[in-house]
């Protein structure tokens, strides 16, 4: 898969870094707390605005449901967790919710800082100011890194776009709506896991 162009990302004042070259996960560890979350996409620095209330509600609902359904099968992570998907150039992301099967987890001692593993599931909850081009760029990043399942949650439209990575590396997407009673089938994440889309938007 070709590398993605992210030059269209919204510009901001970039903090000074200690050396020339692409941004790395190590660079972010020295950032001060300024109310923003930072990621690195293919060596480029990306800044995320603080999330709103509906965003937080959906995140809490998803974490609760996934944690209950996958207990003993894997770990569920909130949006504060950084995942280092690959290095040189670095891809460091913080999905709003993520899930990793227990057999793929690094040892506990290696999970104190960034988690060096590609999640089985990455969830992104849309905010009103999200640009579609940026959302699609992040989906492309996830797919190229090997994430098998991506859920794009839209609190305004009350829909979830379920993106599955195929064995060929391509992807297929299905849009499921709360208002039509759709149910998200996630049996590949946990046996019997079926999530009514409406439950995410309670």
Summarised one tens digit per residue, pLDDT across range 106-142 is 999 889 889 999 999 999 999 988 889 999 999 999 9
Overall average pLDDT of the 163-177 stretch: 93
Residue entry with tokens 């439209």:
157
Report yes or no: 186 and 194 within 8 Å, Cβ to Cβ: yes
Report yes or no: 124 and 173 within 8 Å, Cβ to Cβ: no
Alpha-helical regions (H) of 25-175: 25-28, 53-69, 132-145
Overall average pLDDT of the 131-159 stretch: 95
* Percent of residues, the chain, with pLDDT higher than 70: 90
Summarised one tens digit per residue, pLDDT across range 32-84 is 777 788 999 999 999 888 888 999 999 999 999 999 999 999 999 999 999 99
DSSP 115: B
CA distances from 98 to 30, 75, 76 (A): 24, 8, 6
Confidence label for 17 from pLDDT (cuts 50, 70 and 90) = low
At 91 the pLDDT is 96
To which H or E segment does residue 94 belong? none
User: Looking at the predicted structure, is the pLDDT value of residue 172 above 90?
Assistant: yes
User: Looking at the predicted structure, is the pLDDT value of residue 13 above 80?
Assistant: no
Report yes or no: 157 and 172 within 8 Å, Cβ to Cβ: no
Tokens of 116: 């060096």
Average pLDDT, the chain: 89
Burial class (CB in 10 A: 0-12, 13-18, 19+), 108: exposed
**pTM score:** 0.88
Report yes or no: 42 and 4 within 8 Å, Cβ to Cβ: yes
Please give the CATH topology (third level) of the domain spanning 25-200: tt1808, chain A (3.90.1570)
């Amino acid at each position: 898969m070709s590398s993605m162009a992210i030059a269209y990302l919204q510009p901001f004042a970039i903090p000074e870094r200690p050396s020339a070259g692409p941004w790395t996960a190590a660079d972010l560890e020295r950032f001060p707390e300024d109310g923003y979350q930072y990621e690195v996409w293919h060596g480029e620095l990306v800044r995320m605005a603080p999330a709103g209330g509906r965003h937080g509600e959906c995140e809490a609902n998803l974490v609760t449901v996934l944690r209950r359904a996958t207990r003993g099968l894997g770990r569920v992570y909130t949006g504060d967790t950084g995942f280092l998907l690959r290095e040189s150039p670095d891809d460091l992301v913080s999905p709003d919710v993520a899930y990793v099967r227990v057999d793929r987890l690094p040892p506990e001692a290696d999970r104190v800082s960034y988690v060096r593993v590609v999640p089985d599931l990455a969830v992104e909850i849309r905010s009103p100011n999200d640009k579609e081009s940026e959302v699609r760029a992040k989906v492309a990043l996830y797919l190229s890194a090997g994430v098998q399942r991506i859920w794009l949650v839209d609190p305004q439209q009350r829909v979830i776009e379920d993106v599955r990575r195929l064995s060929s590396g391509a992807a297929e997407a299905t849009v499921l709506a709360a208002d039509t009673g759709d149910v998200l089938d996630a049996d590949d994440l946990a046996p019997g896991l079926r999530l009514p889309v409406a439950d995410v938007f309670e």
